[in-house]
Structure 1
Amino acid sequence: MQVGINLLCLSGFIEAQHLVRIRRLKALGYDGVEIPVLRGDVEHYTWLGRQLDEIGLRRCCTAVIPSPDASPVSSDPQIRQAGEKHLDWALDCAIALGAESLGGPLHAPIGHFTGSGPTESELSYGAEAHNRLATRAEANGIYISLEHLNRFETYFLNTMDQARAYVDRVDHPALRIMYDTFHANIEEQSQPRAIATLGKSMGVLHISENDRGIPGRGHIDFSQVFDAVRTTGFDGWVTLEAFGAGLPELAAATRVWRPLFPDFETLFAESLGFIRAGWQAAA
């Protein structure tokens, strides 16, 4: 198991000014970081990858579908083409970064709704796009960790029953699921049962408290989560996701407009200790 942290707690775009805090993560004992890929060019992520190599941190990354005008599940072929171009851009950045996984809700635009659940056509279009993406990712030593979101953020992929069926539909070994405890806390009746449903298709485990603050301070039973995940044999990235006071790129969808932790040092140190202790205590 490797412990990471999603750097959306710092910013939606990681630059030189953030390297001091990133070095602190290394000093505390994090194995790696999860870089948001929301904007920028390949050259920027090449630079950032070199910085992380010097610090000694491994990395994954996350991206989103930014707009209904670039959706890989759209019925409009031109919009689907724009969506696949965006997926290729995100993967290009992940490759330049030296990422092990490209994750996030790379299926439908966050906060965009059609008035119903995903149609058969949308599922088919998405599976085709994600199979192509996974094929290219695998050729570059990367796997895709597609993230489910709760029903208030997307209509496309909410539950582990849906995720399991979608993994089977895409049918590619490099297409996995990013399991997020915050979203599952809303959508699943039992997180252990949801994790068992997903089984060995977990790509990344996101540890996120019910308020998206410091894990262990809310009501999610992480001991059950860790027990269930370890039962599947998963031994990959266990990544903290906590959000800061304001994320301009995602605030409208995630509704995060207030501080969710007292300071970065408390977030970094307390969360790392909680995750390592919980994993060690799990069956």
Structure 2
Amino acid sequence: MLLGFNLLLWTTHVTQEHFHLFEEIRKTGYDGVELPIFEGDPEHFRKVGQVAKDAGLRITAVTVLPDEQTSAISPDPASRANALKRLHWALDCLSAAGGELLCGPFYQPLGVFTGEPATTEERAGIVEVHSQAADYAAKLNLKLAVEPLNRFECHALNTVEDTAAVVTKVARPNYGMLYDTFHQNIEEKDPVGVILPNIAQINHVHVSENDRGTPGKGHVPWDATFKAFKKGGYQGFYTIEAFGRALPALAAATRVWRDFFPSRDEVYRFGHDFLREAHAKA
């Protein structure tokens, strides 16, 4: 089991004040960290990545599209071009850090809705932008994992089935989808049942509790979830993503109005032990 931890629990931008976390995370037993790439430049991430690698950690990253002028689903070609430019920048930063996979809902800005279901044209925009981004990522030996979100955060991609269809249309070997236990617990009729039929398209997993709190202290069906991934032969990262109100902008974007855990230490320590044991038993 490859187990990672997303640093959004502490920050949206990793700097020197956070470097001590890498050693703590490695000592706890994690295999990797997931860096937020929301700002900065490749040189900054080169330094961050070196500290992570010195601690013995592999690197993945998460990014978003910030606004409507940078959206893959926009009817405006300039906005779609900006989305691709943004993804190129994030991939350059990840490459400098020595990472391996960029994930996230990088197809539309969070919390921006049309009031209607996703259109054929919007999905076509995702395929257009992501096909080019995947080609660019391949030159850097990087993978992409597009993430469906729940209906309260976006509208373009909510379910595994719809996201897998986009992955199939992009048809690049380094492009897949992220399965997130938090979002799929909300959006799927059968969160576990959608795993095996779409396992070929899944190349990254976020192991998040149903309330975004500490894994193992909610009602995500961990045993059945891990059994499905094991049966499908999944070999990628399982990365804990949890956050509370400490980061106001992120909390607002993800509709987090209260804390879901007594301390950050509980999330990464208890979460690690629980998930290792649950995966081993599944």
Q: TM-score range by the shorter chain?
A: over 0.9
Q: Aligned residue for 1:193?
A: 193
Q: What's the secondary structure of 2:39's corresponding residue?
A: coil
User: CA separation in 2, counterparts of 1:23 and 1:205?
Assistant: 23
Q: What's the secondary structure of 2:35's corresponding residue?
A: strand
In structure 1, list runs of 5 or more residues that go unmatched.
none
The Cα shift of 1:245 comes to: 2.5
Q: Aligned residue for 2:108?
A: 108
Alpha-carbon deviations, 1:248-267, whole Å to 9, x = none? Answer: 33222212243222222222
Amino acid at match of 1:239: T
The Cα shift of 1:70 comes to: 0.7
Q: Aligned residue for 1:26?
A: 26
Amino acid at match of 2:223: S
Q: Aligned residue for 1:162?
A: 162
Amino acid at match of 2:91: L
Amino acid at match of 1:52: A
Q: Is the 8 A contact 2:145 2:177 kept in 1?
A: yes
User: CA separation in 2, counterparts of 1:195 and 1:134?
Assistant: 23
User: CA separation in 1, counterparts of 2:150 and 2:171?
Assistant: 24
User: CA separation in 1, counterparts of 2:163 and 2:76?
Assistant: 24
Amino acid at match of 2:232: T
Q: Aligned residue for 1:172?
A: 172
Moved more, 189-198 or 248-257: 248-257
Amino acid at match of 2:127: A
Where do residues 65-214 of structure 1 align in structure 2 (5 Å cutoff)?
A: 65-214=65-214
TM-score, with structure 2 as normaliser = 0.97
Q: Aligned residue for 2:279?
A: 279
The Cα shift of 1:221 comes to: 1.0
Moved more, 177-186 or 91-100: 91-100
Q: What's the secondary structure of 2:266's corresponding residue?
A: helix
Q: Is the 8 A contact 1:164 1:197 kept in 2?
A: no
User: CA separation in 2, counterparts of 1:109 and 1:32?
Assistant: 27
Over the residues paired in the alignment, what is the CA RMSD in angstroms?
1.2
Moved more, 257-266 or 206-215: 257-266
Alpha-carbon deviations, 1:18-74, whole Å to 9, x = none? Answer: 112221111111101000111111111111011112111111000001111111221
Q: Aligned residue for 2:3?
A: 3
State the identity %. 39
Moved more, 117-126 or 215-224: 117-126
Change (3 A) 1:229 1:212: same
Q: Is the 8 A contact 2:103 2:178 kept in 1?
A: yes
Q: Aligned residue for 1:239?
A: 239
Q: Aligned residue for 1:48?
A: 48
TM-score, with structure 1 as normaliser = 0.96
Q: Is the 8 A contact 1:102 1:142 kept in 2?
A: yes
Q: Is the 8 A contact 1:163 1:198 kept in 2?
A: no
User: CA separation in 2, counterparts of 1:46 and 1:125?
Assistant: 31
User: CA separation in 2, counterparts of 1:203 and 1:249?
Assistant: 28
Q: What's the secondary structure of 1:178's corresponding residue?
A: strand
Q: What's the secondary structure of 1:185's corresponding residue?
A: helix
The Cα shift of 1:247 comes to: 2.2
Amino acid at match of 1:82: N
The Cα shift of 1:9 comes to: 0.3
User: CA separation in 1, counterparts of 2:123 and 2:67?
Assistant: 18
The Cα shift of 1:246 comes to: 2.5
Q: What's the secondary structure of 1:191's corresponding residue?
A: coil
The Cα shift of 1:274 comes to: 1.0
Q: Is the 8 A contact 2:22 2:51 kept in 1?
A: no
The Cα shift of 1:137 comes to: 1.0
Amino acid at match of 1:186: I
Q: What's the secondary structure of 1:250's corresponding residue?
A: helix
Q: What's the secondary structure of 1:179's corresponding residue?
A: strand
The Cα shift of 1:4 comes to: 0.2
Q: What's the secondary structure of 1:3's corresponding residue?
A: strand
Q: Is the 8 A contact 2:10 2:246 kept in 1?
A: no
Q: What's the secondary structure of 1:73's corresponding residue?
A: coil
